[in-house]
Chain A
Amino acid sequence: MERSTDRATLYGLETAAREGITTIWDRYEAQLPQCNFGLLGVCCRMCLQGPCRIDPFGEGATKGICGATADTIVARNLARFIAGGTAAHSGHAKHLAHTMLKMADGKAPDYAIRDEAKLKAVATRVGVPVDGRPITDIARDVARAGLLEFSEREEPLAWLETTITPGRKELFAKLGILPMGIDSTIAEVMHATTYGVDADPVNILLTALKCSLSDYAGMHLGTDLSDALFGTPTPRASGANLGTLRADSINVAVHGHNPVLSDIICEVAEEMDDEAVAAGAPGGFNLVGVCCTGMEVQMRHGIPWATSSLSQELVITTGALEAMVVDYQCIQPSVADVAACYHTRVITTMSMAKMPGATHIEFTEEHAKDRAREILQLAIEAYPKRDPKRVDIPNITSTAFAGFSTEAIVAALAKVDPDDPLKPLVDNIANGNILGVCLFAGCNDVKATQDENFIVLAKALAKENVLLLATGCASGAFGRHGIFTQEAVAEYAGEGLKAVLTAVGEANGLGGPLPLALHMGSCVDNTRAADVAVAVANYLGVDLDKLPVVATAPEEAMEKAVSIGTWAVTMGLPTHVGVVPPVLGSAAVAGLLTEGIKDVTGGWFIVEPDPAEAAKQLIAAIVERRKGLNLPVPASAAARA
């Protein structure tokens, strides 16, 4: 299997091999063959009498020591995966709420509300009074309302209830899966899945669905607060891939997920640019993004994005990186080992996320800019130690248009129809110019050839006039393969999609179409896409499970991707995953997720590693939905399905 379809990654891998540096791909090979019990999800490690595993071939143990079957074990393991993802997303949101609260109380002077309209819109939505109040008071109350989402509430989560369709709310209440607190739902999963509690796989899965809705609420909160604090993204041109590092500059990579630090780094790097030049780098500071913190600063500042989580080590093997500044999530501990072979400083910043071999500078919102200065000072100090002979930056970049927040998309549509912005979108879905909408999300996974599933699927769906939205590492794949460009429209879009993207693009003065896919942000921003779907559903007066909207995480790897995929299914979306999750050890659980759940939420999982086959199944799901709404189905799509 090829390691990547990205030329810059392959170039970096050659450099790494030449330098004798092992990467995630080498470590994956060292793990082969992987444990088959683990791959099937039939290993239980939740008590000290174990570990237990169930023999899928029926010759060995059919039950764990406690009597748990494969169905129970697989369901419990999956539920804990989802709790892990929820904890990460909502922890990120909680951090933003604390930051906003400190800002409002005057304890974090380097922060401000940069988008007052967004803050007021969020406040109004969650019931915080707005009229005639100072913005800091509104911010304080919104931050407190956000923090209250985590506790044991008496009513359902505001960030869920106020952002979904009436139909979903009713369904979740009926199923008993309206979460009453984000942290309490995570704890509930841990309780239900500990020794001797819930053994019923269906009941465990319901608890898991509830947890995934907490994940949704946490993510929505995260995006809302980020937009209020740092600005709601607007469309802008940026660059992607390893070629965005510059030999003449002090290169600093911001890596991880949260804009709380990375946004400040952007600001301070500009202020300190003269110091970088004075240190001998004519280009001054060159900031690049890695992973989703990279997406945050690309969306808001157009900072170029260097690479995704999977290939993060290859930013260091360019030999031109002075500092990799990390916050949390998806940061491979190996970056410290790779950095040790170069002059690169890896700087950890969060009290909960340290790493042997890295320098830790504890980031606090109270002293944000001071800490950012310290961090950038380390990069300046590292620069003279760079070995010019080892600088090996692949000369590979792509243009990537970013910044398509929900608000930005609505604003772009409003240029076509100012009185009724959603109408052009809905009309074109109805008349078949747009067959449906697909959200591309999730990670790169070392088990899949990097980006291949993303690109094969994107091209196949665009050809059938499916509107493409993207977040997180999907945005990474699209960025470095030129999907976020106008040129890609001419090359890959079907006629209907091309006409719509061109009409909206020209109405917005782009002199051509919108890019082939809309970059909606980092992985925590997936609810931006959900907001678009909810708006369309409410406009039409139908629920989400009737819309020709699908989701895919074709190279998913992390717990967070599993929790996102699960809420997408709970929201009623057919959701494809391209890496087989560890559930096949239970035919009952696998059957529920891929078929049975359709009768409950209207969504279901499509598990398909082959992207061409996955495209077929996603188009089939869209066609089925169009038929359900009595919308015309073009012959080519019907044939593809």
Chain B
Amino acid sequence: MIGTDTAAGAARSAAPQEIYVVPARCTGCRSCEMACAVEHSQSKSLFGAITETPLPRRRIYVEAVDTVAVPVACRHCDEAFCANACITGAIRRDSRGFVLLDETRCIGCNSCIMLCPFGVIQKEETRHVAVKCDLCPDLPGPACVAACPTDALRFQEAGDFARSRRRTAAVVGAAAAGGVVAGPGGDADPDPAAAD
């Protein structure tokens, strides 16, 4: 639920988990989009969701750049333009630092849509409200991350994610230097191609 912190400038709790993307691992299967839509349906089941009116909306988008697929999701920005622009206070940051939207307060003014640098807020035209990522409050973690078959999406703390990327880069570097690499170690990406 939405906390009572003011939207802009609130201190985020220490090291919240967020959605991180490893684009090189994305195969463009759109499993994340589907899981997101299902989780944001009334029935929360695939076979139920596809018959609902209105149809549930996804909040993560797999964009194609030439032949490369890139999942784009809400970054829950520290300087959240959407929240700053929200004239009714419908979009606020909660105590964990998540930028969340309270539909009951949304007047459908589109300000957040206009200002989001990532284009991940959309209008739900039937109910005339904005829809955005809520990090799946009813689940242990976001549905999109759980649905990703290739581990292209991760729900981690910033430090942990950076550590895993650093480890991958080190393994690639060690191999390039002629070292014998027994294995990637840690939670590093086993696929050197993924070292963006």
Contact = CB atoms under 8 A, between A and B. Distances in A.
B57 A584 contact: no
A67 interface: no
A532 interface: no
Interface string B14-53: 0000000000000001110111011000000011011100
Contacts of A20: none
A59 B38 contact: no
Interface in A53-74: 53, 55-60
B57 A36 contact: no
A531 to B, nearest CB: 36
Contact of B57 (A35, A39, A59, A587): A59
A37 interface: yes
Contacts of A33: 31, 35, 146-147, 149
Interface string B107-150: 00000000000000000000000000000000000000011010
Contacts of B71: none
Contacts of A57: 34, 37, 49-50, 55-58
A617 to B, nearest CB: 17
Given A59-B58, A60-B30, A60-B33, A36 B51 contact: no
Contacts of B30: 37, 53, 55, 60
B46 A40 contact: yes
A414 interface: no
A36 B38 contact: yes
Interface string A102-127: 00000000000000000000000000
Given A580-B47, A587-B51, A36 B58 contact: no
Contacts of B35: 33, 36
A56 B33 CA distance: 11
A422 B51 CA distance: 46
Contacts of B149: 33, 35
A403 interface: no
A39 B58 contact: no
B161 to A, nearest CB: 22
A593 to B, nearest CB: 14
Contacts of A36: 31, 34-35, 38, 46
Contacts of A289: none
Contacts of A53: 30
Contacts of A585: 50
Contact of A584 (B38, B50, B58, B146): B50
Interface in A17-59: 33, 35-37, 39-40, 53, 55-59
Given A33-B35, A59-B57, A39 B46 contact: yes
Interface residues of A, number: 17
Contacts of B51: 587
A33 B33 CA distance: 13
A456 to B, nearest CB: 21
Nearest to B62: A60
Contact of A40 (B50, B58, B146): B50
A58 B49 CA distance: 12
Interface in B132-175: 146-147, 149
Contacts of A580: 47
A57 B149 CA distance: 21
Contacts of B146: 33
Given A59-B57, A59-B58, A37 B34 contact: yes
Contacts of A587: 51
Contacts of A584: 47, 50
A58 B46 contact: no
Nearest to B55: A57
Contacts of B29: 35
A36 B38 CA distance: 10
A587 B50 CA distance: 9
A58 B33 CA distance: 12
B68 to A, nearest CB: 17
A554 B60 CA distance: 36
A608 to B, nearest CB: 12
A60 B69 CA distance: 14
A35 B46 contact: no
A53 B33 CA distance: 13
B103 to A, nearest CB: 18
Contacts of B55: 56-58
Query: Chain B CB within 10 Å — which of A35, A37, A57 has the most?
Result: A57
B117 to A, nearest CB: 21
Most chain A beta-carbon contacts within 10 A, residue among B34, B51, B146, B149: B34
A357 B33 CA distance: 40
A138 B56 CA distance: 64
B43 to A, nearest CB: 13
B36 to A, nearest CB: 10
Nearest to B34: A36
A181 to B, nearest CB: 37
Nearest to B52: A57
B31 A56 contact: no
Nearest to A609: B47
A60 B58 CA distance: 10
Contacts of A35: 29, 31, 149
A7 to B, nearest CB: 31
Nearest to A61: B30
B77 to A, nearest CB: 24
A476 B31 CA distance: 36
Contacts of B147: 33
B169 to A, nearest CB: 29
11 contacts: A33-B146, A35-B149, A36-B31, A36-B34, A36-B38, A55-B30, A55-B33, A57-B34, A57-B56, A60-B33, A580-B47
Instruction: Report the 7 A-B pairs with minimum CB-CB distance, sorted nearest first.
Output: A36-B34, A56-B50, A57-B37, A57-B55, A33-B147, A36-B46, A584-B47
Given A33-B147, A35-B29, A37-B34, 17 more contacts: A33-B35, A33-B146, A33-B149, A36-B31, A36-B34, A36-B46, A53-B30, A55-B30, A55-B33, A56-B34, A56-B50, A56-B55, A57-B34, A57-B50, A57-B56, A59-B58, A585-B50
Interface of B: 29-31, 33-35, 37-38, 46-47, 49-51, 55-58, 146-147, 149
